[in-house]
Amino acid sequence: MLTVELSFYPLTRAYEQRVIDFIRRLREHPELRLQTGGMSTLISGDHDTVFDLLRDATRDFNAGDDTCIFVAKFLNRDAFDTPRID
């Protein structure tokens, strides 16, 4: 299992639609668990499945003319099953 906290920042004036399109693409994978927040999205699932999704999604968005920043943090656990510390 793997969890990635992913932030996507398109450096363009019309960034909102690019972010929405990116999150919609992530949600096309029912085998993954997602939690979307104001600054990032948590993606959790099988290690290879998560990396395949990241490879394909970032390739498509990097192919455009706009400059985009992706920031990723990796956790070697399913963050949705990890006890929270309050």
Question: Is 82 domain-assigned?
Answer: no
Alpha-carbon span 9 to 31, nearest angstrom: 25
Cβ contacts of residue 27 below 8 Å, gap of 6+? 34
Q: Walk across the sheet containing 2-10 and list its strands.
A: 33-36, 41-45, 2-10, 68-75
Question: Is 18 domain-assigned?
Answer: yes
Question: Is 86 domain-assigned?
Answer: no
Question: Is 81 domain-assigned?
Answer: no
Question: Is 85 domain-assigned?
Answer: no
pLDDT per residue as tens, the chain (86 positions): 999 999 988 888 888 888 888 889 889 999 999 999 989 999 999 999 999 988 988 887 777 777 888 899 999 988 888 666 66
What pLDDT shows up at residue 74?
95
CATH number of the domain residue 58 falls in: 3.30.70.930
- Alpha-carbon Rg for the chain, nearest whole angstrom, is 13
Total domain count, the chain = 1
User: Is the Cα torsion angle 39, 58, 44, 16 positive or negative in sign?
Assistant: positive
Full residue range of the structural domain in which residue 66 is found = 2-75
